[in-house]
Structure 1
Amino acid sequence: MTEHTHTDTHVVVIGGGYAGVMAANRLTAREGVTVTLVNPRATFVHRIRLHQLVGGSDTAVIAYEDVLAERVRLLVDTVTRIDAPGRGVDLASGGTVSYDYLVYAVGSGSAEPSVPGAAEFAYPLGTLEEAERLRPALDAAPVTAPVVVVGGGPTGIETAAELAEAGRPVTLVCGGVLGPYLHQRGRRSVAKRLARLGVTVLDGPDAKVTTVRADGVRLANGRELPSAVTVWTVGFGVPDLAARSGLTTDALGRLLTDETLTSVDDDRVIAAGDAAAPSDLPQRMSCQMAMPQGARAADTVLSRIAGEEPETLRQNFAAQCVSLGRNDGIFQLANRSDVAVWMHVDGGMGAKIKEAICKGVPQHLAEEAHKPGSYGLHRKGGDARAKALQAARGDRAPATAARVG
C-alpha cells in the first residue's frame, strides 16, 4: 500500500471506470502527488462489452494491473458520503479517507424503471452485476424461448443482435425510433442487419412497454408479447452520492461543474464522466466522453496544484459505434456538435472498427499508466462546445452555485 506523507498532495478518485482510471493514471505524472482510487470492485469493467458477456463472447472484465498505474493505490470499497468541508470521504467499511483534491467519477448505471412490473420481472443491463444476473437467466431458458429487449438505443440494439446471432427469437421494442442517434441512412442499415438476424423490430409511437410480467410484456396499443426473458436497456441513472453529500447536482443527480470540471460548490472537487454535468450541459454518456473528461479532470487538479489556471473542455465527438453481432456493425459518423451525418461504415468493416475501438480503449488507459501525460485527445477539440454553450445560454441563465440538500 502506498503511503502519503504530510508533504504530499493526496488525490482521491471515486470510481474505477473509464474516467476514473484515466484521471488516476494521469495524476501520477507529478511527483509529490499520491493517488487513491476507491472502487467497489477489484477488477476493471470494460462496460462497452457487457452485451458480449451476456452473449458469451467476452467476460467484460480486465485486471486493474493491466490498466492502472503502479503508483495508484486501489482501495476496494464504496464511498457512502463526501465531506467536502472536511475534505474526506466515508467508506462503507466504516473507515474514512482524507484528501486534498477529489475526482468524482462514479459513472452511471441503469435508470430506475417506472413501468409497472419492470423492476420485478425485467433484467437491466447497465452494470457488470446486472449482466451477470441476466446471463444465467438466459442460459436457463430454452434457446427457442422468446426474448424481448426493451430500448432502441445502442445497448438494446447490440444485445438484440448478440442474442439473435446465437439463435434466439428476439423482439426489440424500441419505445420510439430505432437508434435515435443514427442518421436515417445508418438506421436503415441497422434495420436491415437486424432483419437478417431474425430480430423483430417494433418502433413507432405504439412501441412502448406499459407493463412487464413474468411471461411477457404489454405495449401501449394493448398488444401482448410473450417473453421468457425481458431485457431492459432504457436509459441510464447516476448514483445519488453527490446529492446525498450536499453538493449541487442537475436534475438527474450529476455533479454540477464549470467548464474546467470543477464543482460549483468547492474548487477541491472535480468531476468527470457520466456523473458530471459541466455548465448544466452534460455531454453524451459514453466512454468516448469519459476518458477525455478523466484526462481533463486530472489536468485541472494538476493545474491547481501548480497554481495555474485550468483549461476548459474542448473535446468534440466524431462518431458512434454499434456492433450487430460478431461479424457486422456500424460506425456512424457525426459532426463536431455530435449530430449524426449521412456517412457511415457498416457490414464487416463496421464490426472491425468497433472491435478495434473496444481493444483500443484499455490500451489508451494502459499507455497513460506507463507514460502519464501521453494521452491528448481531450486537447483536440474545436469550438463546438463553446457554440453549444452559447446556444444553451440564449435560452437560460448559466448555472449558479446554489447548494442543495
Structure 2
Amino acid sequence: MTEHSTAKVVVIGGGYAGTLAANRLTPGGVDITLVNPRPEFVDRIRLHQYVCGTGEAAVDYAPILGDGVRLLVDTATRIVPAGRVVELASGAALDYDHVIYAVGSTGAPPSSVPGAAEFAYSVAEFEYARRLRARLADAPRDAPVTVVGGGLTGIETAAELAEQGRAVTLVGGGTLAPKFTESARRSILKWLARNGVAVLEDDVVTEVRAEAVVLGDGAVRPSAVTVWTAGFGVPELARASGLRTDPLGRLLTDETLTSVDDDRVVAAGDCAAPSGEPLRMSCYAAGPLGAQAADTILRRLAGTEPAPLGLAFSGACVSLGRRAGVRQFARKDDTAIDFHIGGRLGGAIKNLTYKFGVLKVGREARKPGSRFWLKGTPRPQRTAATPS
C-alpha cells in the first residue's frame, strides 16, 4: 500500500537539511509544507562574515525552494504524534502523515558563566549575529574584542574581525580546532599571530562584564565586545513533544533517521542523534542527512524498506579572513590525517564550500534526487518504534 500521492509532509526547519529534504520530496504529488520562523534562508556558515560586514547571510527562498513546497513563516511549538498534528506559535495547527524534524542547532552565551547571558554576543543564529553586527558598528575600531571558543566558528570570527583591523583576543578553552592535526593547527596559529590576534589557547572565561572578561586565573582583561562561540545546543521541540532525545536535546533515531518513538517522525541535520551517536554538527553533514530523511519517507510511502545511514567525511575547512584558510583532510570516520592545505589555496577551497552550501540546496529544487554524497559503511541498524 502506498500513500505517496496524498501524503502530507511537514518539514520543521528551513536550514540546509530541512530545505534540501523538502526539495527532494517534490516529485510524485506529496503535499509539502516547510515551517520556518524566518521568511529568508540563512546561509549559516557565512554569519561571521555578516557580522563583520564582509558578506551576507540571508538568501531569498525563491530560487532555492522547489515549486511544490509551501513555505509557512511560523514556529513549531509541539508535535502531537497521537493526533498527527504540528502546533504552531501562531495558534494554527498542521495535520501530517510524516514529519521531517530539521530544527538544527542553536547557541547562546551560557547562564552558568556570570554575565555571559547579559553581556556576551553570539553568532549562532541570524538574529544574534544582527545584534552583534550593530554592536560592532557602534564600537570604536580600536576597542578590544574577545572571542570565546577555539572551535572553527571562533577561529573564523576572530580572523574576520582581525582582518577588519579589530584588536582581537581569542580565548580557546583548550586545543584550538581539535579535529585538526597539530601541523594544521600550527598553520592557523601562525596566521592569527601575523594578523595580531592574541591567542590564549588554554585559558577559559569565567565571567563576562560590560567592559571586561575574567579569566580562569582571575586575571581581568578589557573587552568592549565579547563574542561567545563555545558550545551549541538544540531547540527543545522534541522534548516538549514527549519524544526521546540525547542529553543535548537531539532527537533519538535509528539508522534510517526515524524517531525511536514514532516512525512518522524522521530527523535531519544537527538535531538528529542516530543510535545515540550523532554525526559532527556541520553544513557538510546537513545536506546528506536531509536527503537521507527525505529518502526514508519516500521509501516508506512506496512500501519499501528505508536504507540505513551511510555518510563518510572527508575533512573540514576553516577560513582565515577573506583570502586564506586551512583545508584539513580526514578519513571516512572523520579522524584527521596528517595532510592539510593552507594559505591562499586553503582559502580558495573554503570559498568554494561557502558557494556550494546554497547551490546544492538550489540544485535539489531544480533536480530533485540529484544530491549525492560520499558514502561510508552503514552503521549497525536499530529498529524504530511502531507508529501510533
Q: Please give the TM-score of this superposition, normalised by the length of structure 2.
A: 0.96
Query: Is 1:96 the equivalent of 2:90?
Result: no
In the aligned structure 2, how far is the partner of 1:399 from the partner of 1:109?
29
Number of the residue aligned with 1:278: 274
Question: 1:45 is aligned with what amino acid?
Answer: V
Question: 2:140 is aligned with what amino acid?
Answer: P
Q: Is the 8 A contact 2:4 2:30 kept in 1?
A: no
Deviation of residue 401 (structure 1)?
6.5
Query: Is 1:161 the equivalent of 2:155?
Result: no
Deviation of residue 342 (structure 1)?
1.1
In the aligned structure 2, how far is the partner of 1:53 from the partner of 1:342?
32
In the aligned structure 2, how far is the partner of 1:76 from the partner of 1:147?
35
- Equivalent of residue 70 in structure 2, options 73, 77, 100: 73
User: What does 1:2-401 align with in structure 2 at a 5 Å threshold?
Assistant: 8-29=6-27, 31-111=28-108, 113=110, 114-204=112-202, 207-377=203-373, 380-383=374-377, 386=379
Deviation of residue 32 (structure 1)?
2.5
Q: Tell me, what secondary structure is at the counterpart of 1:236?
A: coil
Deviation of residue 112 (structure 1)?
5.3
Q: Is the 8 A contact 2:262 2:384 kept in 1?
A: no
Number of the residue aligned with 1:394: none
Q: Tell me, what secondary structure is at the counterpart of 2:65?
A: coil
Question: 1:44 is aligned with what amino acid?
Answer: F
* Identical residues among aligned pairs (%): 58
In the aligned structure 2, how far is the partner of 1:175 from the partner of 1:217?
14
CA deviation map 1:334-364 (0-9, x unaligned): 1111011110111001111011111011111
Q: Is the 8 A contact 1:280 1:399 kept in 2?
A: no
Q: Which runs of 4+ in 1 moved over 4 A?
A: 398-402
Closer, same or farther: CA 88–400 of 1 in aligned 2, 3 Å = closer
Q: Is the 8 A contact 1:112 1:237 kept in 2?
A: no
Q: Tell me, what secondary structure is at the counterpart of 1:172?
A: strand
In the aligned structure 1, how far is the partner of 2:193 from the partner of 2:65?
41
Q: Tell me, what secondary structure is at the counterpart of 2:358?
A: helix
In the aligned structure 2, how far is the partner of 1:82 from the partner of 1:26?
22
Question: 2:321 is aligned with what amino acid?
Answer: G
In the aligned structure 1, how far is the partner of 2:187 from the partner of 2:269?
30
Q: Tell me, what secondary structure is at the counterpart of 1:89?
A: strand
Q: Please give the TM-score of this superposition, normalised by the length of structure 1.
A: 0.92
Question: 1:313 is aligned with what amino acid?
Answer: L
Deviation of residue 399 (structure 1)?
9.4
Deviation of residue 382 (structure 1)?
2.5
Question: 2:103 is aligned with what amino acid?
Answer: V
CA deviation map 1:280-328 (0-9, x unaligned): 0000000101100000000000000000000011111111110000011
Aligned length: 383
Gapped regions of structure 2 (runs ≥ 5): none
Gapped regions of structure 1 (runs ≥ 5): 391-397
Q: Tell me, what secondary structure is at the counterpart of 1:372?
A: coil
Question: 1:179 is aligned with what amino acid?
Answer: A
Q: Is the 8 A contact 1:248 1:401 kept in 2?
A: no
